[in-house]
Amino acid sequence: MMKLDPASRIFCALDTPDVAAARKLSHALKGAVGGVKLGLEFFAANGPKGVAEISGMPVFLDLKLHDIPNTVAGAVRSVLPLNPAILTVHAAGGAAMLRAAAEAAKEKTGKSGGVRPKLVAVTVLTSLDQGDLQETGIRDKVSDQVRRLASLAQNCGIDGAVCSAHEIAALRADCGPDFTLVVPGLRPPWAAAQDQKRVTAPIEALELGADILVIGRPITGASDPRQAALRIAGELAAF
Ligand code: C5P
């Protein structure tokens, strides 16, 4: 992957349903991070209009789309006017759904401006353990299922996967250097772990092969979010 400015690799998770709070944070973070991540909580509360209010920096729309191929393709087309830089889909939706999503994303053309979003697959949610997978009929190890789903997504034209830091090495080996690995669950050494159980420092994630780092509360919960983001970006500069 091309060498990027370290700050541009950070996407700050704005986990809030509050548009004003998200707007304030995104203004404060301009130039200090690569973009912001808005999830289902924000989208369910505010819809596309709310997303459109978060302007001036790339948006990672974490909608984790999972439905029949036609519906997912329609949902991808519906969010294209918002110009998301990154959009998530569930790899468990299967090959036809993944291909339909990838095709729909290509419909982004020059007329409305913007670049085609990077489509990134969610594999096995980290909230699921071996027992939870078994209950859904999957007897493989979680790590094997993660690898299987990431490769499936790649073979269907998806650009990358969301993964935890301890899955980076395996997915990088399986999927090669051009597959975008998006990694959450990161904590700089000076920040509290909160509810994240296995935390990795942002720079360690880069060293392992991550491309995009998703960091929320160490930035959003800091007394000066911009300073916190700049501090993390400064630490990444050593990479
Ligand atoms: O505040 P924090 O840095 O923990 O936020 C991390 C973000 O990444 C949240 O939006 C969370 O939903 C998301 N995420 C995660 N762990 C995963 C997948 C996504 O924390 N395994």
68-87 average pLDDT score: 97
Phi and psi at residue 234, to the nearest 5°: -65, -40
Q: For position 113, what pLDDT does the model report?
A: 58
Q: Kindly give the number of the ligand 1 atom that is closest to the alpha carbon of 125.
A: 21
Give residue 114's pLDDT band: very low, low, confident or very high (50, 70, 90). Answer: low
Q: Kindly give the number of the ligand 1 atom that is closest to the alpha carbon of 185.
A: 20
pLDDT, tens digit, 9 for 90 and up, residues 136-181: 999 999 999 999 999 999 999 999 999 999 999 999 999 999 999 9
Q: Is ligand 1 within 6 A of the CB of residue 126?
A: yes
Q: For position 157, what pLDDT does the model report?
A: 98
- Look over the chain and give the mean of its residue pLDDT values, rounded to a whole number: 94
Q: Is ligand 1 within 6 A of the CB of residue 225?
A: no
pLDDT, tens digit, 9 for 90 and up, residues 4-54: 788 999 999 999 999 999 999 999 999 999 999 999 999 999 999 999 999
Active-site annotation holds for 64: yes
Contact predicate 188/213, CB 8 Å: no
The closest alpha carbon to 200, from 217, 183, 220, belongs to 183
Among 214, 215, 217, say which to mutate for ligand 1: greatest number of ligand atoms within 8 Å of CB: 214
Q: For position 2, what pLDDT does the model report?
A: 54
Q: For position 96, what pLDDT does the model report?
A: 98
Q: Is ligand 1 within 6 A of the CB of residue 13?
A: yes
Q: Is ligand 1 within 6 A of the CB of residue 123?
A: no
For 36, 80, 89, 135, 142, the CA distances from 123, given in Å and listed in that order, are: 21, 23, 9, 17, 10
122-135 average pLDDT score: 94
Q: For position 126, what pLDDT does the model report?
A: 87
Phi and psi at residue 49, to the nearest 5°: -60, -40
Q: For position 195, what pLDDT does the model report?
A: 85
Q: For position 109, what pLDDT does the model report?
A: 56
pLDDT, tens digit, 9 for 90 and up, residues 182-221: 999 999 999 988 888 878 999 999 999 999 999 999 999 9
- Angstrom distance (rounded) from CA 119 to CA 101: 8
Task: Tell me which amino acid residue 196 is.
Answer: Q
| 0.75 exceeded by pTM | yes
Q: For position 205, what pLDDT does the model report?
A: 97
